[in-house]
Structure formats: C-alpha cells, structure tokens
C-alpha cells in the first residue's frame, strides 16, 4: 500500500459524495484526480491519463453519456458510471456509449471497490502496452483526438462535425481502403439512404482544408471504383 496505486479520475459535483469517494479510495491505496464537471474531466483525462474513471452522470455542465462518448473517441480507459438514475434506458445508453459498468446510488463501498478491481483487471490485460495515443500525426497533419483539434503545419484547421468524423475515420484506418458504403455507414449511420455523392462532396471539402495541394492529395487518396484511403507520411 505504500507504492503508487492506480490513478483514478473521479468526476462528481456533489461535495459530499466526493468526500466519501476520496476517503474510501485513498484508504485503499488509490491515487486520486478529481473533476467537478465534464469539461474539467476531459481536460484532466488527456493531461494525466488515469487508469480508471469514476463518472457521475448528473453533471452540471454536460450530459454524462456524452462525456462517455467523448472519452471513448480517444481512450479505452475503463469507465465506471455512478448514477442516481435507476431507469433501465439510462443504463443501456451509458453502457452502449462505452461505459464498462453502471452502479446506481446508493451503493456499498465494497461493491464499488470490487467492480473497480474487475475493471482494472480487464484493463491490465488489454492495455499492456497498446495504450492508444491520443494524438494522430502524419506529415504536416496532426489530429488531437482528445481536444478534437486538427492542425496542419501548426495552424489550426476548422472542420465541421461531419468533416471531423470523416477525417478521424480515415486516419484511424490509415493504409486501408474504406469503401463508399463503409464510409456512409460509419459517418451517417447504418440506416442512411445517402448516395456516394455525399462522400465526394465532403472529401473535396476535406482536401481543400487538410491538403497542401488539394488537386494532388498527399493523404486522402481516392481508389477508383472502390472508395478512399488515408496514406501516411
């Protein structure tokens, strides 16, 4: 218990609950990081990557489900949701958004600790050395997944939500060809009756913003008759 235990990010706005968690975790050897809201949580998580996140859904500044999704955009850290909401739909939404467990208040400390051990057990296996970089870089291009910020040669590039989603999708599958259908499904949702024309319009827009010479794309290359590919370097 003298060594540095796992680092836990506690996201909770009620001071009482926070005190309780602080005391419970500290006495079991965990190191703590505390955030009172979603924005602070996201900032802290990217600045000091924790081993586990305890997330209260009832935050003052943002939806907890959305915060879960935001975290999942760039990290696989175990997320244990704590909430007063007992509705089944809330649980399903949180779990499907990327949470690993859902605990309803009131709960016992021992159950919390046991569920934390389960989460850390999973992480220990999966994250051995594969902790995903929160930043993707290729040539002059840089995508900060945690901050949702894209820069080209140091200058910030403003992207609309769809453009960003598209670029991240391409970058995370760098090297692989993504078909028009795959892209439509991932970006516009599975039930979209959209045409491949959409993809073209957005690719053109992305190239204008992200490529040094849009007419001679370095990264976003088209594979005729198939789809597109992100080329690194």
Provide the binding-site residues for a copy of itself, judged by CB under 8 A: 76, 88-89, 91-92, 95-96, 99-101, 108, 110-111, 113-115, 117-118, 122, 125-126, 129-130, 146-149, 160-161, 175-177, 223-226, 229
The entry of DNA, a copy of itself, none near residue 163 (CB within 5 to 8 angstroms by kind) is DNA
CB of 37 to DNA, least distance (A): 18
Parallel, antiparallel, or unpaired: how do β-strands 79-83 and 52-56 relate?
A: parallel
Q: Kindly tell me which of 45 and 187 has the beta carbon lying closer to DNA.
A: 187
Q: Kindly tell me which of 82 and 199 has the beta carbon lying closer to DNA.
A: 199
**Local structure of 55: helix, strand or coil:** strand
Contact between 59 and 81 (Cβ < 8 Å): no
Nearest to 34 by CA among 58, 10, 16, 60: 10
The entry of a copy of itself, DNA, none near residue 56 (CB within 5 to 8 angstroms by kind) is none
CB of 15 to a copy of itself, least distance (A): 25
**Local structure of 58: helix, strand or coil:** strand
**Local structure of 86: helix, strand or coil:** coil
Contact between 58 and 36 (Cβ < 8 Å): no
Q: Kindly tell me which of 35 and 83 has the beta carbon lying closer to a copy of itself.
A: 83
The entry of DNA, a copy of itself, none near residue 196 (CB within 5 to 8 angstroms by kind) is DNA
Q: Write out the residues near DNA by the rule CB under 7 A.
A: 158, 160-163, 180, 188, 194-198, 200-204, 207-208, 214-215, 222-227
Q: Kindly tell me which of 129 and 189 has the beta carbon lying closer to DNA.
A: 189
The Cβ of residue 217 has, within 10 Å, a number of other Cβ atoms equal to 17
The entry of DNA, a copy of itself, none near residue 16 (CB within 5 to 8 angstroms by kind) is none
The entry of a copy of itself, DNA, none near residue 23 (CB within 5 to 8 angstroms by kind) is none
The entry of DNA, a copy of itself, none near residue 91 (CB within 5 to 8 angstroms by kind) is a copy of itself
Nearest to 186 by CA among 207, 210, 167: 167
CB of 221 to a copy of itself, least distance (A): 10
CB of 60 to DNA, least distance (A): 17
Q: Kindly tell me which of 125 and 158 has the beta carbon lying closer to DNA.
A: 158
Separation CA 55–CA 35 (nearest Å)? 9
The Cβ of residue 138 has, within 10 Å, a number of other Cβ atoms equal to 15
Separation CA 114–CA 190 (nearest Å)? 37
**Local structure of 126: helix, strand or coil:** helix
Both tokens of 1, joined, read 């218990």
């Amino acid at each position: 218990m003298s060594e540095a235990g796992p680092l836990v990010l506690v996201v909770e706005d009620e001071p009482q609950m926070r005190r309780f968690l602080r005391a419970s975790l500290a006495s079991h050897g965990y190191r703590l990081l505390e955030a009172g809201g979603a924005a602070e949580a996201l900032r802290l998580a990217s600045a000091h990557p924790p081993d586990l996140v305890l997330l209260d859904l009832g935050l003052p500044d943002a939806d907890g489900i959305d915060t879960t999704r935001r975290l999942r955009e760039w990290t696989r850290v175990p997320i244990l949701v704590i909430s007063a909401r007992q509705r089944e739909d809330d649980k399903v939404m949180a779990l499907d958004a990327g949470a690993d467990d859902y605990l309803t208040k009131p709960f016992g400390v021992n159950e919390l600790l046991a569920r934390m051990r389960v989460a850390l057990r999973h992480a220990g296996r999966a994250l051995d050395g594969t902790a995903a970089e929160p930043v993707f870089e290729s040539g002059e291009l840089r995508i900060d997944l945690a901050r949702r910020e894209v820069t080209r040669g140091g200058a910030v590039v403003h992207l609309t939500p769809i453009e960003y989603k598209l670029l991240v999708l391409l970058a995370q599958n760098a090297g692989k060809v993504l078909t028009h259908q795959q892209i439509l499904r991932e970006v516009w949702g599975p039930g979209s009756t959209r045409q491949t024309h959409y993809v073209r319009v957005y690719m053109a827009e992305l190239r204008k913003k992200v490529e040094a010479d849009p007419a001679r794309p370095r990264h976003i290359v088209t594979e005729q008759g198939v789809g597109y590919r992100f080329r690194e370097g």
